[in-house]
Amino acid sequence: MKLVIPKHIGIIVDGNRRWAQKNGLPSWQGHEQGYQNLKKIAGRAFDKGVCYLTIYAFSTENWKRRKTEIIFLFKLIKRLVAEEVNVLHRDGIRLSVLGDISRFDLDLQRNIIAAQKLTARNTKGVLNVCLNYGGRQEIISAVNKFIKSRPSTETITEDDLENHLYTVGQPDPDLIIRTSGEQRLSNFLTWQGVYSELYFSSKLWPDFNIRDLDLAIRNYGERQRRFGK
Contact between 8 and 54 (Cβ < 8 Å): yes
Q: Which CATH superfamily is domain 8-134+173-220 in?
A: Decaprenyl diphosphate synthase-like (3.40.1180.10)
Q: Which of 161, 163, 164, 169 is nearest to 126 (CA)?
A: 169
Contact between 10 and 54 (Cβ < 8 Å): yes
For 78, what's the count of Cα atoms within 13 Å in the CB-facing half-sphere? 11
Question: Is there a catalytic annotation at residue 160?
Answer: no
Where do the structural domains in the chain lie, given as residue ranges? 8-134+173-220
pLDDT in tens, 212-223: 999 999 999 999
Q: How far apart are CA 198 and CA 177, in angstroms?
A: 6
Q: How far apart are CA 40 and CA 82, in angstroms?
A: 18
Sign of torsion over alpha carbons 193, 194, 197, 199: positive
Which of the four pLDDT bands, split at 50, 70 and 90, describes residue 229? low
Q: b or e along 176-187 (b: 16 or more beta carbons within 10 Å of the residue's beta carbon)?
A: bbbbbeeeebeb
So what's the pLDDT on residue 152?
Answer: 78
Question: Is there a catalytic annotation at residue 62?
Answer: yes
Catalytic residue selected from 14, 172, 174, 207: 14
pLDDT in tens, 37-58: 999 999 999 999 999 999 999 9
pLDDT in tens, 89-132: 999 999 999 999 999 999 999 999 999 999 999 999 999 999 99
Catalytic residue selected from 16, 62, 159, 174: 62
Q: How far apart are CA 140 and CA 60, in angstroms?
A: 13
Q: What is the pTM of this model?
A: 0.95
